[in-house]
Amino acid sequence: MIIYKTDAEIAFMKESATLVSKTLTEVAKVLKPGITTLDIDALCASFIKDHNAIPSFLNYRGYPYTICASVNDVVVHGFPNKVPLKEGDIVSIDMGLILNRWHGDHAYTFIIGEVPQAVLDLVRVTKESLYKGIEKAIVNNRIGDIAYAIQEHTEMKHGYGVVRELVGHGIGKSLHEDPQMPNYGKRGTGPKLKENLVLAIEPMINMGSKEVYTEDDGWTVKTRDGKPAVHFEHDVCVKRNKALILSDYSIIEAAEKANPNLNTSYYS
C-alpha cells in the first residue's frame, strides 16, 4: 500500500532528510587516509543523538551499526570496521535516522585522493543518473520511468552494471514503504506517481558486471568481479512539475570541496 504524505508531513520529512545530510556533512569534514569506518560510525551515532534523532539502521533486521560504509568493491551494506581508509578508496556512506517519528535515509560516495579516471567517471555518471531519475519523479509518470532513466544513463550509455538484487523504496513513518524503486525497468510501467509520494531513489552502479554476492555476515554486498561500485541516494517528494529533493547534497559538497583529502575533480 502506497502512503501519500500531507504537506505538513513532507515538512517533517525534509527535516529528517536534512539531518542525514548534516550528518554526512560532518563525515565529509573528517574523511582522510588513516581514519576508519568505525570512527565514522561513532561520529555519526553521536551526531544523530545530539540532534534528538535515533539511528534507523541500527538493529533493523539485526543490522549491527548506525551507518553502512561500503568501500571499493562493496556495493552496499558494508559493516564499519577498523581498516584505515587509504588514498584511492571510494567510500559510500549510507545512513538513516528517525526524527519526530519521520525517517530520513540517504547516501553519498566520497573519493579519497587520487583515483583512476575510470573511477571518477563511474562516480560522476552514478550521481548524474540519480538526478536523471529524479527528473522523472513527477505526477502521472510511473516508477518505470524513473527506473529506466537511471538504467539508460548508466547501463545503456556507459556500459556499467545496474545491480538487480537491491532497490530503492518509499519512505515515511517506516524506513521501507511501498513502492519498490528499482534502478532498471521499462518506461510507462509500474505504479503511477501521485503528488506527495516520497521515494528513496538509490542507484547502485558497478563499473563492471551487474553481478553481486552477499558475504557470510549476511549483509555485505560485493561485486562478483571485484571492480568498484558506487551508491548515491536522495529522498525525493513527487510533485506536479518538478520533484522536491528533501535531502541536501549542497552542504555535503561544500564540505567535500573544502577537505583537501577528498577528490571532487569530477564535478568541481
Residues forming the site for Co ion (CB under 5 A): 105, 200
Site for ligand MF3 in 1-40 (CB under 6 A): none
Residue of 47, 63, 79, 108 interacting with ligand MF3 (CB under 6 A): 63
* Alpha-carbon span 255 to 158, nearest angstrom: 29
* Alpha-carbon span 247 to 103, nearest angstrom: 11
Q: How far is the CB of 247 from Co ion (least distance, A)?
A: 11
* Alpha-carbon span 154 to 125, nearest angstrom: 7
Q: How far is the CB of 199 from ligand MF3 (least distance, A)?
A: 11
Q: What nine digits make up the cell of 173?
A: 513513518
Q: What is the DSSP letter of 235?
A: E
**Residue whose CB is less far from ligand MF3, 120 or 177:** 177
Nearest residue to the partner ligand MF3, using Cβ: 63
Asked if residue 41 binds ligand MF3 (CB under 6 A), the reply is: no
Residue of 105, 145, 235, 248 interacting with ligand MF3 (CB under 6 A): 105
* Residue of 26, 24, 153, 6 whose CA lies nearest to 96: 24
Q: What nine digits make up the cell of 145?
A: 520511468
Q: Fill in the per-residue mask, 225 to 244: x = in contact with ligand MF3 (CB under 6 A), - = not in contact.
A: --------x-----------
The one-letter code for the residue type at 241 is N
Torsion of CA 255, 258, 260, 264, to 10 degrees: 70
* Alpha-carbon span 9 to 173, nearest angstrom: 10
Site for ligand MF3 in 69-88 (CB under 6 A): 77
Site for ligand MF3 in 181-210 (CB under 6 A): 200, 202
Residues that bind ligand MF3 (CB under 6 A): 57, 60-61, 63, 68, 77, 94, 105, 169, 200, 202, 233
